[in-house]
Amino acid sequence: MSEPATEPDQPTYLVARDDATSRYTVTADGREVGEAEFILDEGRVLFTHTEIAKDAGRGGLGTLLVREALADVRERGLTVVPLCSFVASYLRRHPEEADLAEV
């Protein structure tokens, strides 16, 4: 899904959609450090829970995860129902993504 994000001497981060488990994951150098769970329902992606490992060691991973997940939703022509408070908060902070959210 996303290209690995990396900085010198920093882990490589990758966000991917896993349809078998209904979640987007973020990995750091191949280790899963976060997830955003979802339910696919008639052209809508209902985000139900987002979690980042406490030992992930870097702020901003939740934002990276949600940003990439929403980009995937947009590319697939779907809409978002932000049942998860983190996704809802992200959408409030990024009005440029508001067109994805169902009212």
What are 63-103's pLDDT values in tens digits? Answer: 999 999 999 999 999 999 999 999 999 999 999 999 999 86
80: alpha, beta or left? (left if phi > 0; alpha if psi -120 to 50): beta
Report the candidate in 64, 60, 101 with the shortest Cα–Cα distance to residue 82: 101
24 assigned to some structural domain = yes
CB contact set of 10 (below 8 Å; sequence gap of 6+): 58
Backbone angles phi, psi at 35, to 5 degrees: -155, 155
Give the model confidence (pLDDT) of 27-74 as tens digits: 988 899 999 999 999 999 999 999 999 887 667 899 999 999 999 999
CA distance 72 to 18: 12
CA distance 98 to 4: 26
92 assigned to some structural domain = yes
Question: For the whole model, what pTM was predicted?
Answer: 0.87
Domain span holding position 43: 13-97
Residue 25 maps to which CATH number? 3.40.630.30
- How many structural domains does the chain have? 1
18 assigned to some structural domain = yes
Per the DSSP assignment, residues forming a β-bridge with 46 are 39, 81
82 assigned to some structural domain = yes
